[in-house]
């Protein structure tokens, strides 16, 4: 039987470690602070940000929610970021994406002080990550490494294949695996004979945003499968493709009208040595690593 890599348990352990660090900093008169900027009213974004603010409260961090209207201009957003950069009580700045189409997202992300870039998206932090220097790494890739390490999955000397080359997940995940001494291959939509490459993976990371894209014939038996995808299925045809006969999922689909599936076909999971479930896997690490990054930023800014 494959080992299920429990994202909930690992996230809880990381949060407890963060809470301990926050208590230690409080004894020195320091309270890490996170500013979360949420533009307009996107229901999914509102849920994500609310969860992040709630995590701050649970762990003893200061948080401030800033909610500009959807009509905000790029110039107004840049002024807001500049003001947050100047505030000493703010250690981390998070701009919830996506932003309205008329707002220049890249300009805003570049305007965040790199020392406060807790999402790890700033080009300076990307460069530091590439060079193997201390940096605030993107939360999801950092969470993937924590899952592997805390689950006792060997990384050094293993062949890791990352399917997806986004700046947010694919590329930084590949770099972090490389820094852990894995041999890394990055695949994408233009990769020829993709299945031949993925079948060589000891560790296979799927971050391509397509439901069930990694099929059983693309997986080496015994491999560790890390599924970053969260794809919502809303039609009976989509549901039956992956979960026909699954009574538990059937009940969830009947109740909610949708279920989620990762980028890895659930039938491929049975071939693995270990895998992250969807839900309950990588996604739960993202907020935990954001909290860890905020505390790290607070300490780095103060030379601790």
Which DSSP letter does residue 300 get? H
Catalytic site includes residue 96:
yes
By the 8 A CB rule, do 122 and 111 touch? no
Q: Which residues contact 96 (CB under 8 A, 6 or more apart)?
A: 36, 37, 38, 39, 45, 48, 49
Helix (H) and strand (E) counts in the chain: 12, 11
Please give the sequence-ordered ranges of beta strands (E in DSSP) within the chain, or none if there are none: 3-4, 33-37, 62-66, 92-95, 159-163, 183-187, 203-206, 224-227, 231-233, 259-261, 274-275
Name the active-site residue from 52, 116, 171, 220: 52
Closest CA to 120 of 88, 89, 87, 93: 93
Catalytic site includes residue 52:
yes
Name the active-site residue from 96, 158, 202, 263: 96
DSSP for 48-115, written as a single string: HHHHHHHHHHHHT-EEEEE---TT--HHHHHHHHHHHHH-TT--EEEEPSPPPTTS-HHHHHHHS-GG
Name the active-site residue from 91, 116, 117, 119: 119
By the 8 A CB rule, do 74 and 109 touch? no
Catalytic residue numbers? Answer: 52, 96, 119
């Amino acid at each position: 039987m494959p080992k299920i890599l429990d994202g909930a348990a690992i996230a809880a352990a990381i949060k407890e470690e963060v809470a301990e660090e926050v208590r230690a900093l409080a004894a020195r008169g320091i309270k890490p602070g996170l500013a979360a900027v949420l533009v307009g009213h996107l229901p999914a974004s509102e849920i994500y940000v609310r969860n992040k603010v709630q995590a701050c409260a649970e762990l003893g961090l200061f948080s401030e929610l800033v909610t500009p209207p959807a009509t905000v201009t790029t110039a107004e957003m840049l002024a807001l970021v500049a003001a947050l950069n100047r505030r000493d009580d703010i250690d981390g700045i998070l701009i919830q994406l996506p932003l309205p189409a008329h707002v220049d997202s890249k300009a805003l992300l570049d305007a965040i002080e790199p020392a406060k870039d807790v999402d790890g998206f700033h080009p300076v932090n990307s460069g530091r990550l590439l060079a193997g220097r201390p940096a605030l790494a993107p939360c999801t890739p950092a969470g993937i490494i924590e899952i592997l390490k805390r689950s006792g999955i060997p990384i050094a000397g293993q062949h890791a294949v990352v399917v997806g080359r986004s700046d947010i997940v694919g590329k930084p995940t590949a770099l972090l695996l490389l820094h852990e001494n894995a041999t890394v291959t990055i695949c994408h939509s233009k990769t020829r004979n993709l299945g031949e490459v993925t079948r060589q993976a000891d560790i296979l990371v799927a971050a391509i945003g397509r439901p069930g894209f990694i099929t059983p014939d693309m997986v080496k038996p015994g491999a560790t499968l890390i599924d970053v995808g969260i794809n919502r299925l809303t039609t009976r045809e989509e549901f039956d493709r992956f979960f026909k006969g699954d009574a538990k999922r059937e009940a969830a689909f009947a109740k909610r009208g949708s279920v989620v599936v990762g980028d890895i076909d659930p039938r491929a999971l049975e071939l693995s040595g270990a895998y992250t479930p969807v839900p309950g896997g990588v996604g739960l690490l993202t907020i935990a690593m954001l909290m860890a990054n905020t505390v790290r930023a607070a300490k780095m800014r103060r030379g601790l």
